[in-house]
Amino acid sequence: MAEVVILENETAAGILAAAAIRDLIDRQPDAVLGLATGSTPLSVYSALAESLRRDPLDVSRVRGFALDEYVGLPEGHPESYRAVITRDVVEPLGLTPANIQVPNGNPATLATAGVAYENAILAAGGIDLQILGIGRSGHVGFNEPGSSFASITRVKTLTEKTRIDNARFFASPDDVPIHCMTQGLGTIRRARHLILLAFGAEKADAIAASVEGPVTSSKPGSVIQLHPHVTVLVDEAAASRL
């Protein structure tokens, strides 16, 4: 059963999640973090950066694995998740860039990139704490409805809804890649602790389906019900259908 915490706003949720990450790093300086992109986790990363500024902690050994990446963006594209993770997470937190991995979205190596990424996670000892957002379509990472609960890192096709949602980051909707590389729901299930965040009324259905709905691959977020240690941080609007 997930622990659901309803907070006043994103800032309060970010502070709570950042405190959990900080505690983990304090106990385990080489902790392995699962890093999500999107707007949702930004308050977590900025609260953690602020906390580290006020009260420094050695984060040089922290390791991280991004959830997903677009396929086929040119190297260095500002909206590639490699670039986003560097800008929003690695730099503000002062993490060691070599310790942070992002799935490889290069079309030339897609056939092997998924298994290579899974092996890298295993070699790191698994993910200790996975930060998650959720899409309006209910996707987690880029696991769109229909994704298997046993899936590992692999290539997926984005739904039209997700491409429209993510068009805000690109010059034109046609520029949003059609394919992505994402950790699977099976990968996410193996992380030791999941923190799922969601804010705003447009996430209320996805949160209700994840927390209380039937466990079904047509609602990828419902995978959290199969996990023994989940914290859901939401505002009133995202909690409104619970």
Binding site for ligand GLP (CB under 6 A): 36-40, 67-68, 133-135, 141-142, 162, 166
Judged by beta carbon, residue 95 or residue 132, the one nearer ligand GLP is 132
Shortest reach from residue 166's CB to ligand GLP, in Å: 5
- Pick between residue 20 and residue 57 the one whose CB is nearest to ligand GLP: 20
Task: Give me the least distance between CB of 55 and ligand GLP, in Å please.
Answer: 28
Q: Which residues contact 142 (CB under 8 A, 6 or more apart)?
A: 67, 68, 156, 158, 162, 180, 181, 182
Assess whether 144 carries a catalytic annotation. Answer: yes
> Which residue type, as a one-letter code, is found at position 117?
Y
Within 8 A by CB and 6+ apart from 202, the residues are 136
Residue 58 C-beta: closest distance to ligand GLP, Å:
28
Return the H-helix or E-strand segment holding 91. Answer: helix 91-93
68 vs 88, beta carbon nearer ligand GLP:
68
Cβ–Cβ < 8 Å for 61, 96:
yes
Q: Is 139 a catalytic residue?
A: yes
User: 10 or 128: whose CB is closer to ligand GLP?
Assistant: 10
Query: Which stretches of 8-102 are assigned E, i.e. beta strand?
Result: 32-35, 63-66, 68-70, 100-101
The pair of structure tokens assigned to 166 is: 């993510």
Is 193 annotated as catalytic?
Answer: no
Which of 68, 69, 88, 118 is the catalytic position?
A: 68
- Rounded to whole angstroms, the Cα distance separating 233 from 116 reads 32
As measured in angstroms, the least distance from the Cβ of 178 to ligand GLP is 13
Q: Which residues pair with 194 in a beta bridge?
A: 130, 230
For residues 140 and 220, the answer to whether their CB atoms sit within 8 Å is: yes
Q: How far apart are CA 181 and CA 183, in angstroms?
A: 7
- Determine which one of 139, 165, 227, 235 is catalytic: 139
Pairing mode, if any, of strands 68-70 and 179-182?
Answer: antiparallel
Q: What is the DSSP code (8-state) at residue 14?
A: H
Which of 69, 88, 118, 144 is an active site residue? 144
Least Cβ distance, residue 165 to ligand GLP (angstroms): 7
- Closest to ligand GLP by CB, 166 vs 222, is 166
Closest CA relative to residue 44, chosen from 98, 7, 96, 78: 7
Using an 8 Å Cβ cutoff, are 34 and 130 in contact? yes
Q: Known catalytic residues? A: 68, 139, 144
